[in-house]
Chains A and B, each alone.
Chain A
Amino acid sequence: GENVEQHPSTLSVQEGDSAVIKCTYSDSASNYFPWYKQELGKRPQLIIDIRSNVGEKKDQRIAVTLNKTAKHFSLHITETQPEDSAVYFCAPQGSTGNQFYFGTGTSLTVIP
């Protein structure tokens, strides 16, 4: 399967600050790049995604940027709030379109 890594693995920020999580992948044919949020004890849920024909996408306080040449994409959260505390996973779609491999995960803590 695809090699998917995230950095950092843990991140603590003060409320109101920004957070950035980076995802690197190995499959150059990947063309769909989502980010999932998993709150403690709950199932993962999609929060934002981007396709390979777009470099950046924004939805209120969250944004995703894509660098296909370098094979990485990043999640940006601005004006962080305590409810942003969760584990975030990237899951670039494999080249066949039939596999979804999750990154190693980033635990974000927003300190009030």
Chain B
Amino acid sequence: SAVISQKPSRDICQRGTSLTIQCQVDSQVTMMFWYRQQPGQSLTLIATANQGSEATYESGFVIDKFPISRPNLTFSTLTVSNMSPEDSSIYLCSVEGQKNTGELFFGEGSRLTVL
């Protein structure tokens, strides 16, 4: 298993500002995944973050809007830049379990509200 701490758990932000979400894992992992979950919707993969290389973004997500850092094997950040109300969502980080069985473990999520 993996224990993931995410912060902030929630925040209210003003339009045009940026917010950085932090994700800390209790073990070293190769890949960390960032998801967005809009109210009542499924989880949409934003990007995959590998240590020592640029994150891989999914279609519809760009680095300028969602810059990601991955300074080591236990930590990653996702920044939501120049926020608008449409960015109001829950953002979740996730990792695959230690044995690479395919099971994903999630942080508790960061609920962002943009006014």
Q: Residues of A with Cβ closer than 8 Å to B?
A: 1, 32, 34, 36, 43-46, 49, 89, 91, 93, 98-105
Q: How far is the CA of A89 from the CA of B41 in the complex (A)?
A: 11
Check B59 against A32 for contact (C-beta < 8 Å): no
Q: How far is the CA of A83 from the CA of B58 in the complex (A)?
A: 34
Whether A43 contacts B43 in the complex (CB less than 8 A), given A1-B59, A34-B102, comes out as: no
How distant is A89 from chain B, measured CB to nearest CB, in Å?
A: 6
- Tell me which of A1, A49, A102 contacts B102 (CB under 8 A): A49
Q: Residues of B with Cβ closer than 8 Å to A?
A: 31, 33, 35, 41-45, 48, 58-59, 92, 94, 101-104, 106-109
Q: How far is the CA of A49 from the CA of B35 in the complex (A)?
A: 20
Check B42 against A102 for contact (C-beta < 8 Å): yes
Q: How far is the CA of A43 from the CA of B93 in the complex (A)?
A: 10
How distant is B4 from chain A, measured CB to nearest CB, in Å?
A: 9
